[in-house]
Amino acid sequence: MTKHEQVLKLSRQYAEDTTADLARLVQTRSFGGEEGAVLAEIEKLCRGYGFDEVRYDGLGNLICRVGNGPRSIAIDAHVDTVLVGDESQWTRDPFSGVVEDGWLHGRGSSDQKGGAASMISAGRILKEMKYDGPYSVYFTFTVFEEDCDGMCWRYLIEEEKLVPDFAVSTEPTSCNLYRGQRGRMEMEVFFKGISCHGSAPERGVNASYKAARTILALEQLNEKLPPDEDGFLGKGTIVVSQVQANGPSQCAVPDQARLYIDRRLTWGETKELAVQQVMQAGGDEVDRVEIPQYSNTSWKGTTYGQELYFPTWKIDADHPLVQSGVAAYRGLFDRDPLVDKWTFSTNGVSICGMHKIPLIGFGPGDEDQAHAPNEKLRVADLPIAAAFYAALAYELPQ
């Protein structure tokens, strides 16, 4: 029996356990900053399956390892989830973890505790097969991704000094192989006016009108943003997500206004370019543009933060890591995977975008389930993903 056949056999043998593990993770709430309980469940599972190392870093990320090779690969899942939202839109308890008709239901099932459950089983497979290859295989269960994608990995790389040779994100890809994503950034645009009594608006300068004219200019800018040269990631976008105006009273011309902007960045677009484009669109109407800072205190009590800029990243289709992923998939399933990219943002913005560590994506679940009411995950994806992560360890460049 080949290594791939052994991996596939074990992934199917452990499939029910993987589903049960995911149900337990979904049933354990883990909003940003409150991940300690779900990480304790994962820690217990990894210790029970005999992982070679299980520990926490200073921020509260859980780092588990199988193997002792001189090179390293990190397989990553964030374990925080977004909030439930309007619970009346859910047809089941958002934390039920119930399985019906081949789907496991609940908040975080696809985004992205399914990846975490498959990682746990992949480590179990490697331990069962007594993996002793040239790679230390790290399984990282990370925090705060939903609030500030990549910040957890900035901590791992810059503070913990965990710098793997390669990495895999297990965000949902419908079990396809991904090799890039657009970046993103957030911006605040400020406007100044001159207040006066609302009965005589001609005496003042209305900051909200300045903001309104800029909003229309930004709408036009969004239509004009060009795609990347090779058409892989697609065009960048700009969206005004919040509008605010303030003055001395409800009967006064507002002297302050603010726009909050979500900017998606394609290949070749930088934060400097994006800020310049907003300034040009608003012209003399704009007072200033700022990139906000994010800071929060983790479940472990550590405060950490960064600028809300998340670089675009991709690796070439012929990169050795992509080719290793194709080989692992082909060896398991006797066909080539679809190679594509994410629409949304992941921890890859730090791993590959900031720190240039080659990264691919492969995860159970569908991207359109992320942040949606009635979130669910196809149970059949779980053993596929577990097998892929384990098989990849045998296909990496020697």
CATH code of the domain covering residue 205: 3.30.70.360
Residue 112 in this model has a pLDDT that exceeds 90? yes
Residue 305 maps to a domain: no
> Using CA atoms, how far apart are residues 120 and 115, in angstroms rounded to an integer?
9
pLDDT interval class at 91 (50, 70, 90): very high
Catalytic residue among 41, 57, 111, 145: 145
73 and 58 assigned to the same domain: yes
Mean pLDDT (whole number) for 5-17 = 98
> Using CA atoms, how far apart are residues 281 and 211, in angstroms rounded to an integer?
11
> Using CA atoms, how far apart are residues 32 and 55, in angstroms rounded to an integer?
20
200 and 149 assigned to the same domain: no
66 and 190 assigned to the same domain: no
pLDDT of residue 398: 85
Q: Among the three residues 246, 269, 296, which one is the final residue of a domain in this structure?
A: 296
Residue 301 maps to a domain: no
Question: CB under 8 Å, gap of 24 or more: what pairs does 241-249 form?
Answer: 243/211, 243/215, 245/207, 245/208, 245/211, 247/193, 247/195, 247/207, 248/195
Residue 29 in this model has a pLDDT that exceeds 90? yes
Residue 115 in this model has a pLDDT that exceeds 90? yes
pLDDT of residue 3: 94
114 and 251 assigned to the same domain: no
Residue 303 maps to a domain: no
pLDDT of residue 1: 86
Give the percent of the chain with pLDDT over 90: 99
> Using CA atoms, how far apart are residues 145 and 149, in angstroms rounded to an integer?
4
361 and 270 assigned to the same domain: no
Residue 262: active-site member = no
pTM of whole model > 0.85?
Answer: yes
Helix, coil or strand: residue 211: helix
The total domain count for the chain is 2
Residue 307 maps to a domain: no
The tokens of 7 are what? 């991996």
Strands 166-169 and 313-314: unpaired
Helix, coil or strand: residue 183: strand
Give backbone dihedrals phi and psi of 112, rounded to 5 degrees, phi first. Answer: -145, 55
Residue 306 maps to a domain: no
346 and 268 assigned to the same domain: no
118 and 35 assigned to the same domain: yes
Q: Among the three residues 296, 329, 351, which one is the final residue of a domain in this structure?
A: 296
205 and 168 assigned to the same domain: no
Residue 211 maps to a domain: yes
Mean pLDDT (whole number) for 311-338 = 98
Mean pLDDT (whole number) for 320-328 = 98
Q: Using one digit for the tens of pLDDT, what is the confidence trace for 54-86?
A: 999 999 999 999 999 999 999 999 999 999 999
> Using CA atoms, how far apart are residues 314 and 360, in angstroms rounded to an integer?
9
Length of the chain (residues): 398
> Using CA atoms, how far apart are residues 242 and 259, in angstroms rounded to an integer?
6
Residue 285: active-site member = no
pLDDT of residue 83: 96
Indicate left, alpha or beta for 248 from its phi (over 0: left) and psi (-120 to 50: alpha): alpha
Q: What is the mean pLDDT of the chain?
A: 97
Strands (E), 182-332: 183-192, 237-246, 256-265, 288-290, 293-297, 303-307, 309-310, 313-314
> Using CA atoms, how far apart are residues 147 and 81, in angstroms rounded to an integer?
9
> Using CA atoms, how far apart are residues 316 and 180, in angstroms rounded to an integer?
9
Domain containing 283: what range? 183-296
Catalytic residue among 35, 57, 76, 80: 80
Chain centroid offset of residue 236 CA: 18
Q: Using one digit for the tens of pLDDT, what is the confidence trace for 152-201?
A: 999 999 999 999 999 999 999 999 999 999 999 999 999 999 999 999 99
